[in-house]
Amino acid sequence: MSDDRTVAGIKTALAAQVQEAAARYPANRSAIMPALELAQTKFGSVDGTTYQAIAELLDVPEIWVFEVASFYTLFNRAEPGRYHLRLCTNISCMLRGAEEMLLELQRHLAVQDGGTTADGLFSLSGVECLGACDKAPVLMVNEDYIEDITPAKLEALLAALKREAQEPSAEEGAA
């Protein structure tokens, strides 16, 4: 992850890729979503500085960038934990115990739905349908789907992630 989160730093880091994205559309505004995604991949979250940098790169009003960033739930406007746990609680997962599992996760991590643990390791969100209803309940850990979750599987998963976080060599790979 890059550290220079000034407007100039973000612009330098993203310029080439944002330009490449903009070339796919007849209007620069269309590249706002791809640009936000690129910024998030690079920096972990998006904020006011990011919006300004993207607005300048695409020559669009900054409010357009903020409108998009604040509408779509996959854009992190706060720094998420190292592992973002997104547990689907929609109907098919709910029917197989997801709501109880969300409560269990809240208890286990001592964090509210939507919150991040004090050590910055885990963010927890109950989310809408992830489109893997045949493997319910389903959980996303960052970009990966973990399917057919059971309480035992969950416990093992959390323990494994905590272990992974303690290994110094894993530090770089997580980004």
Binding site for another protein (CB under 8 A): 24-34, 36-37, 60, 64, 67-68, 71-75, 89-92, 94-96, 99, 127-136, 140, 143-144
Least distance CB 78 / another protein (angstroms): 15
CA distance 28 to 145: 33
Taking the C-alpha atoms of residue 92 and residue 96, their distance in angstroms, rounded to an integer, is 7
Q: Which is nearer to another protein, 9 or 99 (CB)?
A: 99
82, 165 in Cβ contact below 8 A?
yes
Shortest distance in whole angstroms from residue 151 CB to another protein: 18
Give 25 or 166: the residue with its C-beta nearer to another protein: 25
Q: What angle do CA 141, 147, 149 make, to 5 degrees?
A: 90
Closer to another protein at the Cβ: 4 or 72?
72
Q: Which two tokens stand for residue 55?
A: 């607005």
